[in-house]
Structure 1
């Protein structure tokens, strides 16, 4: 594969200007005289530090030579919501310097559109058809022959990471870069033979900073961060790209090659992966020419650091399965190393003010997909969330007894799995949501909590302890170094076929994350082989945890109001399995089949399997599940001074006091929103017409029977019952008005409303219960104006994901 693009015409046009530039250079001072007294940093691109003026002078000696330019954010804002994290990678671009008279331009070619050919005219035609980008313009200030000196200070002190845009898009104020409060950061400005690293301290000012910025910055009017710039020598041409296969689950690159014959696909796709070669490709097991080495942040405390090391090292199992010996290593970052230095693959421990996502990103060669640097960002509050879940499950704080070690063991087990998961992204591997029961660390795992023989909660096997079989298959697909003469495409096809024979398949984010999704096994945060069975099992664990809930769920001396913090993840313990069970309703099995691979293409689930999912879903909106026990409610007072309300708690409509009805409504609304999702409703109509399977009429009829037409209850359970009925009514009314639903789905929803109206009218005439009568009259009034009903989520659940874990390559 030829990796260089022809710039014949551009060079032809620039020759007169280059000649002019040479003449001009004769009038410029020499580089040595201009830089006299400055500190010189020799390396990939030599530069000079002018301490008197606070400037960086860049010596350019490689005109027309492509290199990789990467910007990043070594010093973050500390807010998950805004997303400006410590260690966050930014843009990565192939660029080159072009000199035109006194100007030096930093030019980015358009590699999305190429012509991989030796025909310069053909390559030129493509190059001229699509825009390039000039990222910056410099002025030549000194010269020695073909070497030119430019002032790079303004380039390095600009907002390359678009901090201003990120804050603005989060509605947190309009900021501007204050040059008077910005400067170069010398401790992380260094030079090496193949990479040049610059760093700057930038201050952004505003008079209307938002509340999120105010919560993390000392002064929201002046936010100071650091930004990093890397100039990196491109890899040599000895790397061979590997063609992508949608069944293998890899990230990668794609581009349009206009030199492709008309009878072939013009879009080329290659996977992202590190360069890894066997010393002996013919050997079944061989050492690597150069092992892949990752480094764990030395700022991570123990025992977390050891957990990060352990989990990351799981991947060596996968490389061993691919025939490598000692080809993957994980070490602690040396104190002298810079985490943003491209030479270090990183697992970075990132702090934020609130819990949030972790993610794995990479610096890669845009020409080929070769990964140059893997960079994992792990949110430090993740481990505390798992510990909180364990506290809610175990109620461990009995007087006179030590803390239950199982809680810390569960939290650390999750950190090991998370370390492995995010590192997998930096190896090029996507999420795989068709990999339950620890078949892949690239799935999102909910803690596997069991009831033991005595009915007590057991969390000892909450998370997996090793790499999965899918992960081994994926690494072998991406990193196997085949002997010379091997038909690589055929060998990779056979590898995937063997995996399918062992039940190893891949389903991506798009399929799993959609709330109206159809795949019966592709979900986030679920377990088990059948989503409905697992939901019923999870509800039993939840029931037991709520039954045990008491002041023993918090430490002695803690404010009683903090019991609500512990209660939230337990009350909502079934939320993800609920979403998984919903996908059985209107569900369809499918694969990313390719012609001739003999895979299942599509198969609508039979009525029995869909009904099983519906039965489980209806359990989640039963008053028995939604109603909190009285002994739990009475334990939770208004928030103690200094604690305050926050988004991690239940929504309230009762002022300061705990609101069990609001918690129940949010949970019911969550379930019904999946049941009556417009995509699911439309699919039920279609599938019902094509097959003898569950219909939308079946769903609405059973939903109404479970709620509006069910036996009347008293007390708090009765109030939960009434508000759940109004939730169902809201979603049916909204479905009739939803332009994204099919006409027949809206018609069936309208028919269900007519059924409710008839029932409500009849009940209103007979009841003597004034409260129930008010409920019925209110429902009738709402049905008169369906267009005024909001489609979904009148009360949101507290944040769920990440429950202990997600954007591209994230949890």
Structure 2
């Protein structure tokens, strides 16, 4: 009897709301009971069909009833109606939700494991709103690049001046006649390649893939109070397919995309913080047209989390809401402790900013009912691939304020697998000498949602693998030894700390590696208290001790002084006496006091756009304040490793192809360190200093002494006759892998090891770098920036290189033949000078005339040697010198004729 009375009450409430302007959902909320579960819909339908409603309104009601019949109703930020039988999802939008900003984050939840299509990649995050236009609903991406205060006249012109982006126009299925709630079919929005995967696949896979709606469907759907989580599975096909090995048939593939549509956090007490170029934060920048500042057109906020102390009066306090990271349940058990430690390393920095235990770590349960891409959770994710080899730490940010809202770090298992395989790897090492950092390297793709900013990538794996190899070759460690396990633990801990730093808002700091002197690197008393580097945001190689020095820490175990200072700038609260701050500008003097200490050497900062060519102290994969010493140590280590490889290093029954991989790794490591030396030539340190009472300069040229030392080391380790000595036995054991199947192709090159080609390729990289036009222009400019006689001149550079490379001709101790490796190097040097003299390069005019001068001197020396020693030289050397002289003569004559 009581149930019947309750049903009548709910029916009356519903009809009242229906007739007098409220809505069906409100009736349900008032009664706190789902009407559909009480079987009173027939009663309500009879009441609603009476003459109380007009025909059009009754039709709208019937249409609404027909759509939601048999669906599962999910109430939350938006009400969803989900039908598994028909693969339909309908979204109900209330009138007050129109023209209101929401945050969308789009994540590639499943990939194909190669060619840039990887699980966990963030595809997009942006601000959007719904706008009704007649019988259509527009999905609009908000333009946040230009702003003005709402009470200023400039605000009126912005909408006319800068357009938002109407991404989709959706047909409205029905509108509730009383509540005016709008119902749309989400298939029209999320089954039409919303994230732009088609152009992404074409770019990455070099094939035309088309979305197949018949193979696409919705996955998990959830609606919560502040966010909606939806999975879409997209089927793609291509008639010709692509050159992929990870798929059973490359003509068809499926990708799962996770969508989070969430409430934008507003009026939550968060105060944007102004950026300072001396401290490396990612920024949210916009033009403010209500400010007339001729010097600065942009307003820049740093990206950071909203941390509030639970006790504002305490010098150090736990935050009201800590930053919580969840370790995904897909992470192997043996790596979870290292990941946990890497995350918690940052609590030391936050203590300096006034927060205790600012970061927490939790383990995602195996039976979790949420996904890592859910915007409510910050996660450390694990994925597998054939060719990725990177980690990445992106954060999702409120584009209006810079407040970080969500972060998901992804790590490719290959980064650890390459270390554990270490010296048992089965792939050839990339022979490129120079690689750029990727975290900020943007790749323009034909979609508005995708940019490539991979962080620790293939080069990190190479560096980590060479470290494991040194343990084996120099310390006799085995793959299962405690030494290797500790090495892997330190590497992963450091890698995670680096990526967590990005999710806290920090950019790279490639100056961090210069904090310690070479003789401090293996002093654990220093490295375990102060840090191995000034910042874990650098790209740090493994710290391999030189011969005769006890090994210290391989990778940082604590954050550095710069990291602590940067966190202080970003997160320290303004003193309690000034807590009335409501505008970012009110913090200026407080922040300036923190930033003023930036000239301290251990707080030096240089990020991605600061490091190319010019600054020898802002490098990737270097270590210590004296790279000349550090690089020599590593090249000496490499020479010892080659000797060990030559002494029957492989185990009985092991393939010689493994030896080829090891030889390549060591050779690459050797030249990678040699290239660090070249940055000293024409180098200038650069600091992001502001004008203050000290006399520091923004640019300081490298001393003449250091540049001459670098040239001498390059001659000794790269260009000298005895720089490379390999036994015939070792060279004859460098066999290639003969496995040929998917994922292991037989490379289309020489079967035997191309030792001349490999060495010449590296020597050429270094030599052409030393003589490129940018460096020559800098050398010329530096002569005006230093006192007379304190700069390395172009003539000295040319003369030093020529004398070192052509020693057998220009300064022979006795008549001697020229080896094949030296002949190749001399030809390349001659090619460079001829290109300058014949004006086929962009060398400065002084460079061209000096090249002509050096060619004349070389020709005279060659002709003199040929005249005196022609009968004692071998035919290789004789032919080489005669051809070289002839080429110089013809080039100089050609230049005279052209003039």
TM-score range, shorter chain: 0.7 to 0.9
1:542 lines up with 2:638 in the alignment:
yes
Deviation of residue 49 (structure 1)? 1.8
Counterparts in 2 of 1:263 and 1:769: CA distance versus 1, 3 Å? closer
Look up the SS of the partner of 1:286 in the other structure. Answer: coil
1:436-480 Cα offsets, whole Å, 9 max, x none, are: 141111011111111353x8xx65522121111111111111111
1:389-424 Cα offsets, whole Å, 9 max, x none, are: 245324469999885432232222111100100111
Where does residue 158 of structure 1 map in the other structure?
A: 192
Where does residue 498 of structure 1 map in the other structure?
A: 597
Taking only aligned residues, the RMSD between alpha carbons, in angstroms, comes to: 3.1
Q: How does 1:499-514 map to 2 (within 5 A)?
A: 499-501=598-600, 503-512=602-611, 514=612
Where does residue 603 of structure 1 map in the other structure?
A: 700
Deviation of residue 174 (structure 1)? 2.0
Where does residue 11 of structure 1 map in the other structure?
A: none
Q: How does 1:673-688 map to 2 (within 5 A)?
A: 673-688=768-783
Which of residues 835, 847, 871 in structure 2 aligns to 1:745?
847
1:421 lines up with 2:535 in the alignment:
no
Counterparts in 2 of 1:115 and 1:785: CA distance versus 1, 3 Å? farther
CA distance in 2, matches of 1:782, 1:382: 49
Look up the SS of the partner of 1:196 in the other structure. Answer: strand
CA distance in 2, matches of 1:771, 1:644: 44
CA distance in 2, matches of 1:439, 1:105: 50
Where does residue 110 of structure 2 map in the other structure?
A: 75
Where does residue 292 of structure 2 map in the other structure?
A: 261
Q: How does 1:459-538 map to 2 (within 5 A)?
A: 461-486=553-578, 488-501=587-600, 503-512=602-611, 514=612, 517-538=613-634
CA distance in 1, matches of 2:142, 2:365: 36
Aligned residues: 750
1:290-326 Cα offsets, whole Å, 9 max, x none, are: 1011122221113222211211211111112211112
Deviation of residue 750 (structure 1)? 4.3
Q: How does 1:732-771 map to 2 (within 5 A)?
A: 732-734=833-835, 737=839, 740-763=842-865, 766-767=869-870, 768-771=873-876
Which of residues 723, 732, 747 in structure 2 aligns to 1:634?
732
Residues 278 and 598, structure 2, Cα contact 8 Å, conserved in 1: no
Counterparts in 2 of 1:605 and 1:396: CA distance versus 1, 3 Å? closer
Counterparts in 2 of 1:402 and 1:274: CA distance versus 1, 3 Å? closer
Deviation of residue 620 (structure 1)? 3.1
Which of residues 160, 167, 175 in structure 2 aligns to 1:128?
160
TM-score by length of 2: 0.78
Counterparts in 2 of 1:105 and 1:401: CA distance versus 1, 3 Å? closer
CA distance in 1, matches of 2:830, 2:365: 61
CA distance in 2, matches of 1:75, 1:347: 16
TM-score by length of 1: 0.86
Counterparts in 2 of 1:555 and 1:511: CA distance versus 1, 3 Å? farther
CA distance in 2, matches of 1:536, 1:378: 32
Where does residue 11 of structure 2 map in the other structure?
A: none
Look up the SS of the partner of 2:609 in the other structure. Answer: helix
Identify unmatched segments of 5+ residues in structure 2: 1-53, 423-465, 517-532, 579-585, 893-899
1:279 lines up with 2:310 in the alignment:
yes
Counterparts in 2 of 1:41 and 1:553: CA distance versus 1, 3 Å? farther
Which of residues 683, 688, 711 in structure 2 aligns to 1:614?
711
Identify unmatched segments of 5+ residues in structure 1: 1-21, 788-811
CA distance in 1, matches of 2:741, 2:818: 30
Residues 760 and 824, structure 2, Cα contact 8 Å, conserved in 1: yes
Deviation of residue 763 (structure 1)? 4.6
Counterparts in 2 of 1:230 and 1:784: CA distance versus 1, 3 Å? farther
Counterparts in 2 of 1:347 and 1:619: CA distance versus 1, 3 Å? farther
Deviation of residue 539 (structure 1)? 1.5
1:385 lines up with 2:482 in the alignment:
no
Where does residue 12 of structure 2 map in the other structure?
A: none
Structure with the greater alpha carbon radius of gyration: 2
Which of residues 662, 679, 684 in structure 1 aligns to 2:757?
662
Look up the SS of the partner of 1:624 in the other structure. Answer: coil
Where does residue 695 of structure 1 map in the other structure?
A: 793
Counterparts in 2 of 1:413 and 1:716: CA distance versus 1, 3 Å? farther
CA distance in 2, matches of 1:707, 1:467: 44
Deviation of residue 722 (structure 1)? 1.5
Q: Which moved more, 1:91-100 or 1:496-505?
A: 496-505
CA distance in 2, matches of 1:154, 1:707: 68
CA distance in 2, matches of 1:176, 1:784: 60
Residues 413 and 465, structure 1, Cα contact 8 Å, conserved in 2: yes
Counterparts in 2 of 1:750 and 1:427: CA distance versus 1, 3 Å? farther
1:331-379 Cα offsets, whole Å, 9 max, x none, are: 2223313111111112212222025332211110010111111121222
Look up the SS of the partner of 1:507 in the other structure. Answer: coil
Which of residues 816, 819, 826 in structure 2 aligns to 1:725?
826
Look up the SS of the partner of 1:278 in the other structure. Answer: coil
Q: How does 1:205-604 map to 2 (within 5 A)?
A: 205-211=237-243, 214-237=244-267, 238-262=269-293, 265-335=296-366, 336=368, 337-387=370-420, 388=422, 389-395=466-472, 403-436=480-513, 437=516, 438-453=533-548, 461-486=553-578, 488-501=587-600, 503-512=602-611, 514=612, 517-550=613-646, 553-554=649-650, 556-596=652-692, 598=694, 599-604=696-701
